[in-house]
Amino acid sequence: MNEPARAAVQRSDGPTIARAQLGAAHDGLPELILGIRFENGVLSDVIVDNDAGIRLLARCGVDRIEDLVGQSWREVRNALLEE
């Protein structure tokens, strides 16, 4: 993880990515399966498609899926909304 990414993790508030894994989507493309941890402790799965997943890694300044852990849910939202 690079320095800007580490700094982003440290100042993150609200729900964060607690788990990130590579999965296989129904259409034969890879996808990201993220576990989002909410402030009340609940862990909820969010699945991100191939294109949005690539954007998410870029937004977070990381190049390994496991380094998404600790990033804000806002990055996930923005990666999904970006086209």
Answer yes or no: are the C-beta atoms of 65 and 41 closer than 8 Å.
no
Per CB under 8 A, 6 contacts another protein: no
Per CB under 8 A, 45 contacts another protein: yes
SS3 69: coil
Residue 79 CB partners (closer than 8 Å, separation 6+): 48, 52, 53, 55, 56, 59
The interface region with another protein, picked from 3-11, 63-71, 72-80 by CB under 8 A, is 63-71
Beta pairing partners, 78: none
Per CB under 8 A, 7 contacts another protein: no
Task: Supply the minimum distance, in Å, between the C-beta of residue 63 and another protein.
Answer: 4
Task: Supply the minimum distance, in Å, between the C-beta of residue 69 and another protein.
Answer: 13
